[in-house]
Structure 1
């Protein structure tokens, strides 16, 4: 029987998670038990967007505007206390997939930022 060098992934076999990926899996599993799954669908008129503007910046601006218009979108839910906390500060996390795992840098006070 051959052995694989460390770090080699064998397709079809379980892979022990380590480091960033292990922590990411723990955090996501924990969040899954505490976060209310939500899907929002809406339409946006993109004709007024100027060519060359960054799509991510547009997305962040749209989320900020939505949170300002509907404050319930910018809230924390506490399942134990069956309560919610509305927030004035708008922080947005943008997930970034890397070879080391998923990272979610936070844009603090996104409503105050200028792109």
Structure 2
């Protein structure tokens, strides 16, 4: 019984660590948008917000599903009626593959912007 509880605790800690790897501000040289991914541990939920200084715009994504190393979302850009579903997949600690399907179909790797996470 103790072994089972220990295994479940380790799996839970591993899943939490995996979710936290998505957190950050991500960018791509092919877009003027920055993607901000936040994870609320207490609510066990993500928020994804895209913003562009060039376009002077903010776009929120709706989370539709979360798996071990993937986040599934949908977004609608009202300024151009652009709608897509997006799959975010961790490639490594500093890169995410974004697969867009809908009004545009493409794959883009986004890179984590360096930031100091020691803000406690």
Structure (1 or 2) with the larger CA radius of gyration = 1
More helix by share: 1
- TM-score bracket relative to the smaller structure: under 0.3
Report which of the two has the higher share of strand. Answer: 2
TM-score by length of 2: 0.27
Give the TM-score normalised by structure 1.
Answer: 0.28
The higher-RCO structure (CA 8 Å, 6+ apart) is 1
